[in-house]
Chain A
Amino acid sequence: MSDSEETVRDRGYDDALDAIESGDGYYLECSAGHGSLPPRRLCPECGDDQLREEPLPETGRIDTYNITEVPAPAFADDAPYVLAIADFGPVRLTGQVQGVDPEDVSVGMTVEVEIARSETNGERLLAFRER
């Protein structure tokens, strides 16, 4: 990552992370009720252009997870870590399960999402904590 990449925001995406960070997370919903993650102009399911922000459900359910021992360089100092896909209803999110031993993570676990920082480069990432 160069300095310029760190300072230029990704519109839509960084706004969504800001919202999660301040406890007001949201997803996008089209008029047919399909959920998706920003930035988007069109619903990826049906092409609808009437997307509006809806509050992200407070908790999700872990659908699957791994224990990553060999990370990409951007997470060299973070490994090992647990990466999970959690189902929040209208959308699923990919994030790291924190605050619990890897052995104690399970499919079906109820989690909430927050923003954490990579130990390697300080970048923001989605973190799941058991609720």
Chain B
Amino acid sequence: MTGPRVAGVGVTEFGRAPERTGRDLFGEAAATAISDAGVDHSDVEAVYYGNFMGELAEHQGHQGPMMAEAAGVQAPATRYESACASSGAAVRQAVHDVRNGEADVLLIGGAERMTNLGTAGATDALAIAADDLWEVGHGMTFPGAYALMARAYFEEFGGSREDLAYIAVKNHANAVENEKAQYQQAISVEDVLDAPMVSAPLGLYDSCPISDGASAAVIVSESYAAEHDLDAEVAITGTGQGGDRLALHDREHLATSAAADDAAAEAYADAGIDVERIDVAEVHDCFTIAEVLAIESLGLYEPGEGIGAARRGETTTDGSVPINLSGGLKAKGHPVGATGVAQIVEVVHLLRGDHINSDAVPDATTGVTHNAGGTVASALVHVLEVQQ
């Protein structure tokens, strides 16, 4: 047994579509994933759906059944909420269910409608992932939280805004050909450094955009894939989840992400791999500094070493382990509830060889996803491998 297979994947365009409802977005992603998988709708046994701010954006709770309906699936459905790691949590549930033999076909995914709230409204909604009493009530925003982490990182390890700018430049370059991406234009280091500040030391181009969008994937058991002769060569071979104190000020270290350290260690052990096996990764770069914390937590870099990786060309398309070939959250966009499964979608395309940037990793057999919630009080890491 090699574990759950990803039989089909789908994403909507990410970007500004304020008039599109969450159910419309998820319906599109689900239809694409189910069609890509070549499974019957009636075979889907459950829907695990990630969403963060549906109550605020659409005045809609109880979204699980609504999204099963949108996907044309008559099956029980549950919504997962772990801030920006919501659909990463849905992936983990699906992996466990298929491994335990409790399900053979699951539809997972996520969606978020955000731009209808406007910038101020979305900023307000995103902030609820932080501690309302002891953080948000005193002026914490999400860019603000990552700005606190960025300065703490500079203080502890060194590095500069210019180092971070190379991450934004890299991720924008990766998205130029990605038709699903919110921003398909290249930017320069100067563009990043000259952009208005959002929360110093982070500026507008250090920050991912506010996005509408959805993602979906069909997860099947190995036996179902064999019986139905599905083309499902990519398996999810490792899952890990880490947790930490909700408020940033309650963490032992402000310049590292311990929850993601734990998630990565668990996922690698689960898959039976070590970090040298990783060919490619999609990580949670909601802000440029977040990509630094991510690649350090994944063990690709020692703490303090990750900040120069993009600048040194090690995480670019021609680097040793390209990071965020999709464009990442920074350029592809970040409809928060959709992001965890969207990362799975990108890695599946990279491992299947049908990604716009597949040429960067032609022989890739192992990829990882890193999905973080809040200021990384929640973290999900998954390992995906090509199985022959």
Contacts and interface: CB of A to CB of B under 8 A. Distances in A.
Interface in A25-66: 36-37, 44, 63-66
A44 B123 CA distance: 28
Contacts of A78: 139
Given A64-B149, A64-B151, A71 B141 contact: yes
Contacts of A125: 137-139
A70 B144 CA distance: 9
Given A94-B140, A107-B155, A63 B133 contact: no
Contacts of B200: 66-67, 69
A64 B153 CA distance: 9
A61 to B, nearest CB: 12
Contacts of B135: 94
A76 interface: yes
Interface stretch (B161-169, B248-256, B273-281): B248-256
Interface string B117-154: 00111011001000001111111110110011101100
A103 to B, nearest CB: 10
Nearest to B151: A64
B135 to A, nearest CB: 5
Contact of B249 (A68, A75, A92): A92
Contacts of A44: 245, 250
Contacts of A94: 134-135, 138, 140, 247-249
Interface in A67-84: 67-76, 78, 81, 83-84
B367 to A, nearest CB: 33
B120 A73 contact: yes
Among A69, A107, A125: residue with most chain B CB under 10 A: A69
Contacts of B198: 69-70
A72 B124 contact: yes
Interface string A91-113: 11111100000000001000000
Given A13-B133, A83-B140, A94-B247, 14 more contacts: A37-B134, A44-B245, A65-B151, A66-B148, A66-B199, A66-B202, A68-B139, A69-B198, A76-B120, A91-B249, A93-B249, A94-B135, A95-B139, A107-B155
Interface of B: 119-121, 123-124, 127, 133-141, 143-144, 147-149, 151-152, 155, 196-202, 245, 247-250, 254
Interface of A: 10, 13, 36-37, 44, 63-76, 78, 81, 83-85, 91-96, 107, 123, 125-126
